[in-house]
């Protein structure tokens, strides 16, 4: 399983990668510091399903291209992708408007608060047909 993480905080990214390893050491993680390089990567591999992630964890507040802008561009890109890629918003925001806006987006499966717990990650992985060691 390939997981894409779009997160600008290096400390949180490190922590998240440790959580991912605790769930399954064989998960392949690709990470981007904001939405722009993530969109560039997805655009480059639009027809190469093996290169595309199986799931995206998306932060909202980032420089250059934030999570909202990423979702706007990704919505236009998604129909051309070789496989559907579910998006989980992963944010420290507790603002009701952010939660509601994310949950109203048809590409977003769920709004998750930081930090992501290993049990929640294991449930997500299993939901998408992959096995974990938890």
Q: What is the CATH classification number for the domain harbouring 105? A: 3.40.50.2300
Number of domains, the chain: 1
In a domain, 78, yes or no: yes
* Spans of the chain, pLDDT less than 50: none
pLDDT confidence of residue 129: 80
8-state DSSP, 95: -
Q: Is 134 a member of any domain?
A: no
Which pLDDT belongs to residue 96?
92
* DSSP-assigned states of every residue in 15-32: HHHHHHHHH-TT-EEEEE
Question: Does 15 map to a domain?
Answer: yes
Q: Residue 55: which domain range?
A: 2-127
pLDDT at residue 134, rounded to an integer? 65
pTM: 0.92
Positive or negative, the CA dihedral 37, 17, 47, 72 is: negative
Q: Is residue 132 part of a domain?
A: no
Question: Which stretch of DSSP H or E encloses residue 2?
Answer: strand 2-6
Answer whether residue 114 is part of any domain.
yes
């Amino acid at each position: 399983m390939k997981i894409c993480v779009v997160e600008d905080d290096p400390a949180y990214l490190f922590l998240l990668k440790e959580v991912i390893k605790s769930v399954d050491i064989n998960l392949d993680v690709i990470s981007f510091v904001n939405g722009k390089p993530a969109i560039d990567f997805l655009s480059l591999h639009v027809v190469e399903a093996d290169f595309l992630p199986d799931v995206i964890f998306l932060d909202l507040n980032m420089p250059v291209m934030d999570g909202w802008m990423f979702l706007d561009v990704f919505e236009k890109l998604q129909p051309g992708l070789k496989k559907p890629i579910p998006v989980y918003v992963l944010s420290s925001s507790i603002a009701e408007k952010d939660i509601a806006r994310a949950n109203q987006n048809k590409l977003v499966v769920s709004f998750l608060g930081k930090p992501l717990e290993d049990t929640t990650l294991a449930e997500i992985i299993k939901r998408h047909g992959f096995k974990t060691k938890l």
